[in-house]
Every structure is written in C-alpha cells, then in structure tokens.
C-alpha cells in the first residue's frame, strides 16, 4: 500500500471508531424518547439564534450573500421548519392503526415508526446551513444519531458549525466532520443506516455506489436543468420579477433556480426586456457595486461559468465579470445552441438562457427530451395550460406562476426524480425518510382454528379456494 492508501485506511478506521461510539449511544435507547428528540430540535434553533450574526458573516465570506438572503434562505426558514417539526412530532411518532383485513380477524394491525440508527448527512456549499441542518433535524426528530458533513467549499460557515453546534445538541449523538473529498470518502467506507446527500448528480452516483457496498439506503437531492415555460398569456410583468428574483438569488447558485426559459415566440422579446428592467430595478445599473448580489463560490466555478458565457453567443445583458472578486453580472443569453455547454450542463450561476418556442406543446416536448429536472416552472393565466404541462412532464417539484417557492411549505415533500434525485424530505416526509415503518400484526390466543395446520384435508382445500377466489 502507498502512503496515501495507508492514510486513507487510518482515516476510515478513525471514523469507524467515531461511528461505533454513536452506535453505542443509539443502542442505549437514549435517542428514542420524544423529550430527547425535542431537546435536540430546540438546541438547533438555539444555535441558529445564538450565532445568527456569526453565520450571516460567514455566509457573506463564503458566498457574498446579502444579510437579507442569508437570514431568509439559510437561517430563518430552517428555524421555521424545525419548530414545525417539533410541534407535530408527537403525532408523527404514534403508531398508525390499520384494518388487518377479514382474514386476520380477530387481531389488530399497526405501523410502528422506529429510528434507523446512525445516519450520515452530506451537505453542499450553496446553502450550507439550510441544507445541513434541515436533514439533521429530520434525522434527530426520527430518533437517530447523526454524522454531519458540511462542505469544505464554504469553510467559514463550516467553521462556525464545527466550533459551536456541539454545545447545543447531544455530543454523544451528533458528530460534525470537517474536510473535503478524502474525509467524505473515508466516511463512506463505513457502514451507516442511511446516507442523505445533497449535491451534484455526478457526485451522487459516487455516494450511491459507496453506500451500495453496505446495502445502505440513500436519499439523493441532486440537481439538473430546471426549465421555466412561459406561455403567451402569462402576466409578463409578474413573471419577469419572479423569474429574475429566483434566478439571481445567491448569484444563481441554487439547485432549483430556473436554469433556462422556454418562451412562446410572440412574447419572448417583451419578457426579455422586462427581465432586464427587473435586473436594473433589483441590482442597479452596475450590479458589481450593489450589496444585494452574491458572488460565485470560488475561482474554479467562476472560470467554468465565464467559459460557458464566452462560448455561447447571443449575450444581450450582462456578461461582465471580475475573477478577483468572483463577480459575474446577471447575464441573459438568447437562443444558445441546444448542444452547447450552456444547455447541456447545470449552470449553477447567474446566467439565464432564453429560447423561443412556437407553442407550449413544443416546450413540453423539449423538456421531455431531456433528463427529469429537480423543478419545473410554468407561467400562464390558463389553468388548463398549467395542468397540461404538469400532467405531461415529470419533475421533482413544480410551481405555477412562481419559482422556487415550493420549497417553503412544510407539508410539501421536497426531492427529485430520476437523475435529479431519489427520496424526499421536509416536514413529515423528512421524519419518514429517517424512520423504518415496521408492520406489526397482533393476534389473540383464545381462537386457534385447525384450518391452517396439517394434515391438509380436502375440505380444508375447498375452504381455502373459496376464501381466495
């Protein structure tokens, strides 16, 4: 073995000891009572309150996030969702009574929700607080122990989490591991009872392959190119504002951001003009100096985005950039080649391709000719048009006449489909994904008919055939 191999093996073994300690906590039964679970949820909220200013500053350092966005998308929404979980937890934990069926009478049937054990949550860098703590909260609500792995690409935020989170939760049940690819790889060498990953489709395949070695179930929250269909009858003023806000929030580094627009040809130019107007309204005539536009996470991602723009042609707005400050202006590209990188890669930045289409039918065909996206948006005044798009396309989630807002309601499961992910969370869906639903049938002993037992006489066979006909 090489020195690198030896180091990797030592790291995996070290994490194995960490996981063994968490498993010992789980097997002690400490994590099962509702009081413990609610205490952990309360601790997460207290952490967010106590270190709000530090987290906002870290998010500014990592991503240039405006304080408004940092609080709204990475702190406030998490607090809201965690409090909702705590309020409803007692109801979710109760066994579900079901009718056992006539053949199982007398008897009772129920579904018991039991925790899985020790789970791994791997978070991305674009919303490094929200996308770590929301699944961690769901796992703790379900009674599990957790290894939390923040992204190394948001180091300031990861540092705040690593320095403070352990003081607000049970340190014998929650462990936070910093580091990059080697650390994540070493963690995945070990057996978990569930792996929850948010990130790119390419890395999702790696995570799933590693988990498969242990037959560990996975939840994969991935990405993809989320389309926006704008029909000719849409309210263009409202559509322009909502698309602009959703696309350029967090400098476009949002997995459910509108990735490209498919606009009916008759209104394409007007919509583009209105989006340019919204950009000026939101960010001024020189977006580089506004405090309300984020920055690209690092130089490597900045270089990738500028290459996509420079090779696209058709730039009608933006395109200017500054590598030293990781700035890229809100950019609109008209009718890029559908085989270009701009239309084949997930953009994950403030670049918006706009394609003219002849009809909503053509837009549906365009979407269905590609991988199933994480989100889909349709703008129209017609319920029939919206219903037709929703019925004939497949996506992880969708909004009608808005974008990204479907992530807010606690009762809507959030997840992908096909290459954009598997499994879902938020609200009860999160509790369920980290729980085993155990089916239990209870039978009394006062009635024990001999019909079931050998010898299998002919009269028994006739009764059985009558019952199962």
pLDDT in tens, 286-324: 999 999 999 999 999 999 999 999 877 789 999 999 999
Task: Please report which residue ranges of 121-190 form alpha helices under DSSP H.
Answer: 130-141, 155-164, 181-188
Mean pLDDT for all residues in the chain: 96
Distance CA(9)–CA(5), nearest Å, equals: 6
CA 463 to chain centre: 52
pLDDT of residue 118: 98
Q: Which residues partner with 97 through β-bridges?
A: 110
Distance CA(245)–CA(263), nearest Å, equals: 18
* 3-state secondary structure at position 211: helix
Residue 449 vs residues 84, 99, 358, 459: alpha-carbon distances, Å: 48, 21, 70, 14
Strands 375-379 and 227-230: parallel
pLDDT band at 216 (very low <50, low <70, confident <90, very high): very high
Q: Other CB atoms closer than 10 Å to residue 215's CB: what's the count?
A: 7
pLDDT of residue 1: 61
Half-sphere exposure of 402 (CA within 13 A, CB side): 7
Residue 420 vs residues 24, 198, 205, 373: alpha-carbon distances, Å: 35, 10, 11, 6
pLDDT at 2 over 80: no
Cis omega (within 30 of 0) on the bond before 163?
A: no
Give the burial class of 38: count Cβ atoms within 10 A of its Cβ; 0-12 exposed, 13-18 middle, 19 or more buried: middle
Contacts of 382 (CB under 8 A, 6+ apart): 231, 233
pLDDT of residue 11: 86
pLDDT band at 5 (very low <50, low <70, confident <90, very high): confident
Largest distance between two CA atoms of the chain: 90
Q: What is the pLDDT of residues 362-385, one digit of tens each?
A: 999 999 999 999 999 999 999 999
pLDDT of residue 142: 98
pLDDT band at 284 (very low <50, low <70, confident <90, very high): very high
Strands 327-328 and 321-322: antiparallel
pLDDT band at 172 (very low <50, low <70, confident <90, very high): very high
Q: What is the pLDDT of residues 384-429, one digit of tens each?
A: 999 999 999 999 999 999 999 999 999 999 999 999 999 999 999 9
Better pLDDT: 102 or 175 = 175
Identify whether the C-beta of residue 139 lies closer than 8 Å to the C-beta of residue 434. Answer: yes
Contacts of 328 (CB under 8 A, 6+ apart): 251, 296, 302, 305, 306, 309, 318, 321, 349, 350, 351
pLDDT of residue 39: 98
Q: How does DSSP classify residue 95? A: P
Q: Which residues partner with 351 through β-bridges?
A: 331
Which of the residue ranges 4-13, 28-37, 275-284, 297-306 would you say has the lowest mean pLDDT?
4-13
pLDDT of residue 311: 75
Q: Point out the residues that are catalytic.
A: 221, 255
Query: pTM, whole model, 2 decimals?
Result: 0.95
Give the burial class of 448: count Cβ atoms within 10 A of its Cβ; 0-12 exposed, 13-18 middle, 19 or more buried: exposed
Query: Which run of H or E residues covers position 196?
Result: strand 194-198
- Which residue segments constitute the domains of the chain, with CATH numbers given? 3-222+420-438 (3.40.605.10), 227-415 (3.40.309.10)
Identify whether the C-beta of residue 97 lies closer than 8 Å to the C-beta of residue 3. Answer: no
pLDDT of residue 34: 98
Q: What is the pLDDT of residues 33-48, one digit of tens each?
A: 999 999 999 999 999 9
What share of the chain in percent tops pLDDT 90? 93
pLDDT of residue 440: 98
pLDDT of residue 6: 74
Cis omega (within 30 of 0) on the bond before 106?
A: yes
pLDDT of residue 99: 97
Q: What is the pLDDT of residues 176-211, one digit of tens each?
A: 999 999 999 999 999 999 999 999 999 999 999 999
CA angle 142, 145, 148 (to 5 degrees): 105
pLDDT at 351 over 90: yes
């Amino acid at each position: 073995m090489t020195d690198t191999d030896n180091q990797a093996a030592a790291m995996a073994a070290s994490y194995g000891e960490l996981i063994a300690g968490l498993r010992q906590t789980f097997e002690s039964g400490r994590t099962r009572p509702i009081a413990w679970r609610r205490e952990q949820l309360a601790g997460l909220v207290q952490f967010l309150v106590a270190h709000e200013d530090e987290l906002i500053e870290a998010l500014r350092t990592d991503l240039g996030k405006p304080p408004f966005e940092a609080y709204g998308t990475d702190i406030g929404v998490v607090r809201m969702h965690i409090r909702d979980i705590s309020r409803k937890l007692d109801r979710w934990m109760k066994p579900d009574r079901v009718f056992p069926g006539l053949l199982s009478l007398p008897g009772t049937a129920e579904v018991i929700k039991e925790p899985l054990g020790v789970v791994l949550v791997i978070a991305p860098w674009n919303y490094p607080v929200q996308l770590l703590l929301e699944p961690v909260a769901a796992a703790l609500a379900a009674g599990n122990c957790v290894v939390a792995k923040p992204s190394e690409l948001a180091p300031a935020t990861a540092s705040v989490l690593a320095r403070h989170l352990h003081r607000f939760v049970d340190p014998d049940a929650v462990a936070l591991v910093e580091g990059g690819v080697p650390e994540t790889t070493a963690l995945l060498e070990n057996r978990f009872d569930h792996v929850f990953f948010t990130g790119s489709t390419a890395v999702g395949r790696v995570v799933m392959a590693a988990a498969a070695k242990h037959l560990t179930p996975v939840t994969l929250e991935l990405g993809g190119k989320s389309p926006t269909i704008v029909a000719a009858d849409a309210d263009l003023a409202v559509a322009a504002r909502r698309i602009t806000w959703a696309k350029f929030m967090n400098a476009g580094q949002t997995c459910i951001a509108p990735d490209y627009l498919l606009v009916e040809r008759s209104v394409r130019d007007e919509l583009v003009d209105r989006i340019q107007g919204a950009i000026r309204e939101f960010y001024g005539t020189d977006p580089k100096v506004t405090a309300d536009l984020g920055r690209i996470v690092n130089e490597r991602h900045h270089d990738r985005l500028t290459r996509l723009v420079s090779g696209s042609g058709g730039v009608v707005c933006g395109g200017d950039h500054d590598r030293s400050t990781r700035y890229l202006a809100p950019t609109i590209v008209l009718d890029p080649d559908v085989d270009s990188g701009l239309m084949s890669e997930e953009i994950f930045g403030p670049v918006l391709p706009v394609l003219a289409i002849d009809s909503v039918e053509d837009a549906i065909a365009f979407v269905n000719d590609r991988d199933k996206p994480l989100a889909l948006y349709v703008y129209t005044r017609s319920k029939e048009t919206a219903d037709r798009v929703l019925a004939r396309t497949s996506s992880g989630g969708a909004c009608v006449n808005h974008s990204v807002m479907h992530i807010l309601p606690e009762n809507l499961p959030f997840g992908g489909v096909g290459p954009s992910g598997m499994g879902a969370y938020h609200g009860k869906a999160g509790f369920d994904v980290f729980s085993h639903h155990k089916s239990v049938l209870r039978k009394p002993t006062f009635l024990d008919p001999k019909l079931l037992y050998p010898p299998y006489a002919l009269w028994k066979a006739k009764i059985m055939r009558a019952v199962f006909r």
